[in-house]
Amino acid sequence: MEIHRLRFWSRRWWERDRPLLAAGCVLVFLVVIFAIRSRVKEAGVRNRAVGPTFARLDSPLVDLTLLRDAKSRGAFCLDGSPPGYHLQRGTGSGFDKWLLHLEGGGWCNDAESCAARKRTALGSSRYMEPAHFVGILSPHQSLNPDFYNWNRVKVRYCDGASLAGDVDKENLNGLELFFRGQRIWIAAIDQLLSEGLAKAKQAFLTGCSAGGLATLIHCDNFRARMAKEAMVKCLSDAGFFLDEMDISGKKTIRSFYNEVVHLQGVMKNLPSGCITAMEPSQCFFPHELIKRLTTPVFILNPAYDFWQIQHILVPSNSDLDGQWRRCRLNIRYCDSKQIEILQEFRKSLLNALSEFQQNGKGGMFINSCFIHCQTMSNITWHWPTSPRLNNKTIAEAVGDWFFERREVKEVDCPYPCNPTCSHMEFL
């Protein structure tokens, strides 16, 4: 059964004027809720007797491996502890194939929010526990048809800047903080190369949320580190964050990203051609990153990503009169005018992807679900009741694209047209 062990941050973060300052906290909390609901739904599916193959599958618990050379390379989590990953070895035909998944969990943009993460698994390996491998990491063929027997790795996220920060100083406003995401990325890949990744015939870099953004940032570098003859591709799940105004007319997310980029020295690890043409924080947005990628990439995103609706379109400080309170927590409570605004948000996503849609090497799966991150749950990845487009689950669509069985450019019709969607409900 799917279990996510994540720790809560102080509830006071919910009350901040700028909820994005605690974006990582919010995501952790929401993932916990999603895990609970997934378990309930999974139990319901079993009770309807969908078959013994699904009913008996448990997710394995995989131990944490710390980076051996973290100290000598200065590759530290926010609190100075060594980063780590979870590795389950491939078997049979998958022994020389590798799938890496970059964990998500928001960002931190100032000393206070980064210090708060130090007391969680999102800022310290001291709080990291063994991981359950589900969804795209599952070892069961019925749940993960194309990648179940590959070498599968979950790279933990503990830097707060999508594995892209790099600052030498360790003291900020009297707090000891290590902004070393880029060094974590390099050290983790180097250690995995020594563990067999260097001999991979096929390699797939994936990530969810902030990890999905990290995947886009590091995709070409990942390709460059692999053997020239290897097939290498990338997938960003719920990592296509939009540079849109909130309902009050403010560029909340751009302002927040600007603070993250400058605090953690991210600009030096963004595309040079981009940062010379515009403000570096704008180069942290996926629509700028994908313009410059040469490695094939798959964009998996819900058109009504609840994280983006709650933190980009309708952050709490933009809805002081509370008219959006119910809608932003449950799409079924949105009135007709709010639905119109959500449809415009969907159009912004599709417009941002319009050029990419013409990319012959790229893949897309844009469904009309109110959800966030769909590769890291059995329920949404590949299950009898999973979301589908053209009668294909996400796992089937991604597999078709990766192995070039067909072109995959799936775009769903507007909400509420898709009855297979798994919508998150917080009310």
Main-chain dihedrals φ then ψ at residue 365, nearest 5 degrees: -145, 95
Half-sphere exposure of 295 (CA within 13 A, CB side): 29
Instruction: Give the chain's domains with CATH numbers.
Output: 11-411 (3.40.50)
pLDDT in tens, 321-349: 999 999 999 999 999 999 999 999 999 99
| Residue 423 is among the residues annotated as catalytic for this protein | no
Which entry of 132, 140, 372, 382 is annotated as an active-site residue? 372
Among this protein's residues, is 305 annotated catalytic? Answer: yes
Query: Under a CB-based contact definition with an 8 Å cutoff, are residues 126 and 68 in contact?
Result: no
Q: Which of 305, 311, 386, 422 is catalytic?
A: 305
Q: What is the pLDDT of residues 199-248, one digit of tens each?
A: 999 999 999 999 999 999 999 999 999 999 999 999 999 999 999 999 99
- Name the residue among 160, 419, 231, 206 with its Cα closest to residue 300: 206
Confidence of residue 33 (pLDDT cuts 50, 70, 90): very low
pLDDT above 80 for 374:
yes
**Distance between CA atoms of 215 and 217, rounded to whole angstroms?**
5
pLDDT of 384 higher than 60:
yes
The token duo for 276 is 């010379």
Distance CA 236, CA 364 (A): 10
Q: Average pLDDT of the chain?
A: 89
Cβ atoms of 129 and 237 closer than 8 Å: no
Report pLDDT for 58: 79
Tens-digit pLDDT profile for residues 112-122: 999 999 999 99
The model's confidence at residue 27, banded by pLDDT at 50, 70 and 90, is very low
Measured distance CA(200)–CA(353) in Å, rounded? 31
Could you report the per-residue pLDDT of 276-295, keeping only the tens digit for each? 999 999 999 999 999 999 99
Which entry of 209, 281, 316, 422 is annotated as an active-site residue?
Answer: 209
* DSSP secondary structure of 249-279: S--HHHHHHHHHHHHTTGGGGS-HHHHTTS-
The structure's pTM equals: 0.89
Instruction: Kindly write down the DSSP assignment for every residue of 316-381, as one continuous string.
Output: GGG-TT-TTHHHHH-GGG--HHHHHHHHHHHHHHHHHTTTGGG-TT-EEEEE--S-S--SS-HHHH
- pLDDT for the residue numbered 60: 82
Task: Provide, rounded to the nearest whole percent, the portion of the chain with pLDDT above 70.
Answer: 87
Dihedral over alpha carbons 188, 301, 420, 23 (to 10 degrees): 70
